[in-house]
């Protein structure tokens, strides 16, 4: 069972890589960050500036999703740097001018003095192999729901667990986990069908649908036993 951005999970299923789970979704923070001395102040300043992303992942799909209200698509540029701590490392090293970040790198960037140009949220969706037993998926989702309720009841208790998600290359730095945000939120409600339709329209508009073999909702979700 794998959680990924909504675009990625749907596209993976459409490319023949399992099925996406329509029973729930996550809400995750996202942002584009620059160094504090950067000339980039507003989203419009990212015109023709390659933004560091992890290709075909949430950090990638979010760039056109959020920037196309500010810039023509032809002026929105990305560069594949990789995942986990790679984009934050590249930004700190001056290898890129801007980086698309997710938790916990967003809170890490803020504690390192980096500056957000734009911040928002996006949906994540889980996807499973074709042969995943429905009862196993259901148990997994119930566990996530219990975890969400625990976070809502006592967030400070669990914030120190962020230490388990710090990339190895940043483990020697001091992090104040009490000031980290909560990260992704689990919502145990069905993915709206309208959102699926919008995802399909978006990936086609962005030219990121070339691997899709199937586009029908009912064929991309697990069969009902």
- Rounded Cα distance between 158 and 178, Å, is 9
Please check whether residue 57 lies inside any domain of the structure: yes
Please check whether residue 225 lies inside any domain of the structure: no
Indicate whether 184 pLDDT > 70. Answer: yes
CA nearest neighbour of 126 among 194, 225, 28, 224: 28
Please check whether residue 150 lies inside any domain of the structure: yes
Model confidence at 223, pLDDT cuts 50, 70, 90, reads confident
Please check whether residue 209 lies inside any domain of the structure: yes
Mean pLDDT over each residue of the chain, to the nearest integer: 96
Please check whether residue 23 lies inside any domain of the structure: yes
CA nearest neighbour of 43 among 115, 91, 113: 115
Q: Which domain holds residue 185?
A: 2-219
Please check whether residue 133 lies inside any domain of the structure: yes
Overall average pLDDT of the 147-173 stretch: 97
Overall average pLDDT of the 114-119 stretch: 99
Question: What's the confidence (pLDDT) of residue 83?
Answer: 85
Tokens of 117: 């140009």
Contact of 127 with 22, CB cutoff 8 Å: no
Please check whether residue 132 lies inside any domain of the structure: yes
Question: What's the confidence (pLDDT) of residue 205?
Answer: 94
Model confidence at 224, pLDDT cuts 50, 70, 90, reads low
Number of domains in the chain: 1
Please check whether residue 224 lies inside any domain of the structure: no
Contact of 57 with 9, CB cutoff 8 Å: no
Question: What's the confidence (pLDDT) of residue 94?
Answer: 98
Q: Which domain CATH number covers 176?
A: 3.40.190.10
């Amino acid at each position: 069972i794998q959680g990924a951005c909504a675009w990625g999970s749907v596209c993976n299923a459409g490319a023949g890589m399992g099925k996406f789970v329509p029973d729930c979704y996550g809400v995750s923070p996202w942002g584009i960050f620059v160094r504090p001395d950067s000339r980039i102040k507003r989203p419009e300043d990212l015109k023709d500036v390659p933004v560091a992303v992890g290709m075909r992942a949430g950090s990638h799909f979010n760039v056109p999703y959020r920037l196309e209200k500010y810039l023509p698509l032809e002026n929105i540029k990305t560069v594949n740097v990789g995942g986990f701590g790679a984009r934050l490392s590249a930004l700190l090293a001056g290898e890129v001018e801007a980086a698309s970040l997710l938790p916990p790198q967003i809170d890490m960037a803020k504690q390192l003095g980096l500056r957000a140009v734009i911040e928002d949220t996006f949906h994540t969706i889980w996807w499973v192999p074709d042969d995943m037993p429905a009862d196993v998926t259901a148990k997994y989702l119930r566990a996530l729901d219990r975890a969400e309720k625990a976070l809502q009841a006592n967030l400070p208790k669990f914030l120190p667990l962020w230490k388990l998600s710090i990339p190895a290359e940043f483990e020697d730095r001091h992090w104040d986990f009490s000031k980290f945000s909560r990260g992704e939120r689990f919502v145990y409600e069905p993915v709206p069908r309208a959102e699926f339709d919008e995802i399909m329209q978006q990936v086609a508009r962005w030219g990121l649908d070339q691997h899709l073999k199937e586009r029908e909702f009912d064929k991309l979700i697990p069969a009902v036993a």
